Amino acid sequence: MGEPSPLWTPEQIASDDVSKKDIVQFLQDNSSSVFLKEHKLVGQVKNVTKTSKKDQLINAYNSLFETKAFKGTEEPEDEVAAVTEKTEEMTVKEPEKAAAVEVEVPRYRKRILKKGDKLNLPKKGDNVRVWYTGKLENGNVFDTNILTGKKKKSARPLEFKVGTGKVIKGWDEGLLTMGVGERAELTIEPVWAYGKKGLEGKIPPNSTLTFEVELVSIG
């Protein structure tokens, strides 16, 4: 492909006979991609025409013939750079992945001994009343509020706000799944019971505990 010849003399191009659009069209048709980029002439003709001053376009026109940066004269690396840049512009960025949500694995097992009212479950912060008996792994009872004999009449259910940390986590989580009148066996791992410390005089460290719990009422 031969070098293009100038279309206009300095007097012609400076006159009103030659529009900015004419100059932009000529430059885009005959200039290398690197030259167009350097002189900010990349884009649709109407957009480049609108944002460019005629003096700048005339300077670019003169520079084209001085530097001979015509279309097809790019060095290989320039061509690669131009293609790479265009590809990067066209590449659709992958949407950012949503932050991972950590879900805590339940650290207790529940076995229903007597069904309750599944339409009447407690919510966090509700007052609940329960009967309970707690046993160690060897079966020994370490605590209960169920009394027998003469003391039976004085026994009262344990009352607390469920789901608020007033009791061990295994109780909080387990009771939120129970309906009024339900009796269940909760086997609770140490991390949701008394953990590494245990309870002095009652519960050894790292003990898995079993509670028989009955949800008497809510509120």
Q: Is 113 helix (H, G, I), strand (E, B) or coil?
A: strand
**160 tagged catalytic:** no
Catalytic residue among 132, 172, 188, 218: 132
Nearest CA-CA partner of 213 in 124, 99, 147, 130: 130
**143 tagged catalytic:** yes
**61 tagged catalytic:** no
Q: Are the CB atoms for 190 and 196 separated by under 8 Å? A: yes
Catalytic residue among 29, 112, 143, 146: 143
Catalytic residue among 26, 61, 108, 211: 211
Distance of alpha carbon 212 from alpha carbon 186, whole angstroms? 6
**17 tagged catalytic:** no
Catalytic residue among 65, 70, 142, 160: 142
Q: Are the CB atoms for 71 and 32 separated by under 8 Å? A: yes
**211 tagged catalytic:** yes
Q: Are the CB atoms for 57 and 24 separated by under 8 Å? A: yes
Catalytic residue among 23, 168, 188, 218: 168
**132 tagged catalytic:** yes
Q: Provide the annotated active-site residues.
A: 132, 142-143, 168, 194, 211
